[in-house]
A and B are shown apart, each in its own frame.
Chain A
Amino acid sequence: MHHHPRTDATGPSDDDAVSHSVVSQTPEDILAYWTQERMAESEPREIRLPEPEAEAEPEEN
């Protein structure tokens, strides 16, 4: 079961160019959450964009 801690102050910070989130959990809570099992089962988070059209692909030398 996943634990869903609350975060505070989510949103733009002192200037609008930067957003931030202040974590309300204690470090001890976060460290306790990450058991060996959870770490091992974590999924890679990645951005994989659709393969470009074949005709747009640059030629390989």
Chain B
Amino acid sequence: MTKSKTLATSLLSLSAAALLAVCAAGGASAAPASPQNASHQEGAQVASQSVDGSNAADYWTADRMRAAVPGDVLAAKALERGNTSSAAAVEKGSSTRITGKAGKGKTVLHVDENPVSHIGKVFFTMGGSNYVCSGNSVVSNNKSTVSTAGHCVNEGPGAFATNFVFVPAYLDGAAPYGKWAAKALYTPTQWSSAGDMQYDTGFAVVSPLNGQNLADVVGSSGVQFNAARGLTYKSYGYPAAAPFNGQSLVSCTGAASDDPYNPQFNSQGIPCDMTGGSSGGPWFIGTSSGGYQNSINSYGYSGAPSKVMYGPYWGSVIQQAYSSASSSAN
């Protein structure tokens, strides 16, 4: 097992996307409940109330449902009573997103994320068309190496991409850390000459921007090769194909398992419904973007929606490609 880790981790946590585990108890109560059961906590910020719901269904007869007062009438009355909260107590806090779940049969397998400084989109030209994928700044000797998918740097088999640029922490068209142009692209020869799915990984070495190296600006992830199989991973990407729009970062987390359909690929998959555009996004061992990178988003199977994202096993061959890129001049 081989690990390389950067010390520039202080830059990694812009996102640390405060995913809050929220355990919501109770919910809407149907039948009237006695107010004396309500309890108030922490300076009256939160009130909770136990409700015995066993009789709620019986309570809502057809007549009662027809006679029920619309909620907006109650809201209007609340407005008439006026706002009794002090200005200091009202709605101040950081933005928080909590992803919901679709109905039965449409389980959502991704989480919306805030931007992460070292993860971004890559744009390139291949075969006369412009494409978009995802990428990540990785620890390297030249402090200028970006990981992505092999099919995002080379046709596999075929020609290398041109006009390759990395946009870290992309969000809604904004490039807060600038756009970094590639000066060299690397991939295992098995990918560039045969399109062998086992080796669908590529690396771009980018030029300095405003006199600074990429890793010094956005940080860089450690990398690991020849790791055990079946680990838990968190993958990131910018899915652009429907139902996504490619404008923000998304993640999936899960335990990896072998591809049951094409075991010769030697790849592993995690539960994930990311679509095209997420290709090349990093897989981190563990459950955060601060882990060692150990694969990339590579492929899925057709069918709507896709439920598994597969990534290549990062063994010695991909390590060679990484080492060549990492040690090249920037």
Contacts and interface: CB of A to CB of B under 8 A. Distances in A.
B188 A27 contact: no
B163 A47 contact: no
A50 B123 contact: no
A53 B165 CA distance: 38
B301 A49 contact: yes
Given A30-B163, A30-B181, A34-B179, A44 B301 contact: no
Contact of B187 (A3, A19, A50): A19
Given A45-B152, A48-B300, A20 B163 contact: no
Contact of A42 (B130, B186, B278): B130
Contacts of A43: 129-132, 276
A5 B300 CA distance: 31
Nearest to B297: A46
Interface string B273-285: 0011111000000
B113 interface: no
Interface in A5-26: 5, 7, 10, 12-23, 25
B324 to A, nearest CB: 5
B128 A4 contact: yes
A49 B164 contact: no
Interface of A: 2-5, 7, 10, 12-23, 25, 27, 30-31, 33-34, 36, 38-52, 56, 58
